[in-house]
Amino acid sequence: MSRSKRDLSGKVVAVTGGARGIGKAIAAALTDAGALVAIGDIDIPAVDDQTGAAFAAKLDVSSAESFREFLDVVETRLGPLDVLINNAGIMPTGFIDEMDAHAAERAVQVNLIGVINGTREAIQRMKPRGRGHIVSISSLTAYLAGAGVAVYAASKAGVLIFSQAAAIELHGTGIDISVLQPSLVKTELVDGIAIGKGAPACGPEDVAQRVVSILRNPQFQAFVPRAVGPLGYLNQAVPAPIRLWFARVSGSDKLIEEMDLSARAGYVERLQRIVDRT
């Protein structure tokens, strides 16, 4: 007997990093599905009304206090939290020996510590109610890393493993944990990175629709597009020399060398402002 789809109408949802890109698309898709959506973002001036969100508030996910205050506001204005979407993320690029140490630390703080902060705060609210759903955005790079994105890939792999452990802890509590692993998503995050013909790229709307899908039909892990899942699993299953061979064949060993720095300048400038906020 198949399980009926969950209705999202009236559900209170908090989306981190909702001002742009994937987060903005998720907020819009969930609003269309009838949810009451609150956006949390470090860059509030960038938030517009195109998502249809109920409201937007300042949030630095790397700060536990900021996350607590944000969710307090969400529950005061909209009601008990039903869903948290851990989406906020940044991607500084560069070879390991050349990357700015502070930028690397900030990436881990936002991408991984931010997910830990949000998940902890959400669980504390959801557990007494015996219900809730937490969705965290990881990346295909957790399985398929490339040159120049080592710190980003590490932080996203951390999100996956953290979510696995959280799912074990929360089994039987009524709280669902899900993790999404998109391939290259066509947002400013990948500006300047050459996306080869046939590469498994997708759009922010594709990720948003997958979020809606797993909220209606809960599952732990989902890839976007779906077809990249076996590729990721296979890459981790083969010996290291084969992974290195595949990196050369796919061009992922030259991501930085072939990057269009002028096309990436806008994102780098905004990223620097985020990195400078400690």
Find out whether 159 and 228 touch, Cβ atoms under 8 Å: no
Residue 254: what pLDDT? 72
- The alpha-carbon radius of gyration of the chain (Å, integer) is 18
Q: Across 52-56, 216-220, 254-258, which has the greatest mean pLDDT?
A: 216-220
Whole-angstrom distance, CA of residue 136 vs CA of residue 181: 9
* % of the chain exceeding 70 in pLDDT: 86
Strand ranges inside the chain, DSSP E: 12-16, 36-41, 55-58, 83-86, 132-137, 175-182, 221-224
Whole-angstrom distance, CA of residue 21 vs CA of residue 221: 21
Find out whether 31 and 14 touch, Cβ atoms under 8 Å: no
pLDDT at 195 over 60: no
Domains plus CATH for the chain? 12-276 (3.40.50.720)
pLDDT digits (tens, 9 = 90+) for 134-175: 999 999 989 988 888 899 999 999 999 999 999 999 999 999
List the end-to-end C-alpha distance of the chain, in Å, as a whole number.
Answer: 51
Find out whether 173 and 130 touch, Cβ atoms under 8 Å: yes
DSSP state of 112: I
Closest CA to 43 of 25, 21, 82, 17: 17
Least reliable range by pLDDT among 103-117, 167-181, 215-229, 242-256: 242-256
- Partnered with residue 23 across adjacent β-strands are none
Active site residue 267: no
Find out whether 41 and 19 touch, Cβ atoms under 8 Å: yes
Q: Give me the mean pLDDT over the 27-45 stretch.
A: 93
Residue 246: what pLDDT? 81
Whole-angstrom distance, CA of residue 173 vs CA of residue 156: 25
Q: How many CB atoms lie within 10 A of CB 34?
A: 11
Find out whether 225 and 186 touch, Cβ atoms under 8 Å: no
pLDDT interval class at 176 (50, 70, 90): very high
DSSP state of 157: H
Instruction: Single out the catalytic residue among 143, 152, 233, 267.
Output: 152
Task: Give 266 or 224, the one with higher predicted confidence.
Answer: 224
Helix (H, G, I), strand (E, B) or coil at 56: strand
- Tokens in use for 62? 């790397």
Find out whether 37 and 30 touch, Cβ atoms under 8 Å: yes
Length of the chain as a residue count: 278
Q: Give me the mean pLDDT over the 4-28 stretch.
A: 94
Task: Give 276 or 225, the one with higher predicted confidence.
Answer: 225
Residue 274: what pLDDT? 74
Residue 277: what pLDDT? 65
pLDDT interval class at 228 (50, 70, 90): confident
- Partnered with residue 57 across adjacent β-strands are 40
pLDDT digits (tens, 9 = 90+) for 113-134: 999 999 999 999 999 999 999 9
Q: How many CB atoms lie within 10 A of CB 133?
A: 22
pLDDT interval class at 76 (50, 70, 90): very high
Least reliable range by pLDDT among 46-50, 86-90, 142-146: 46-50
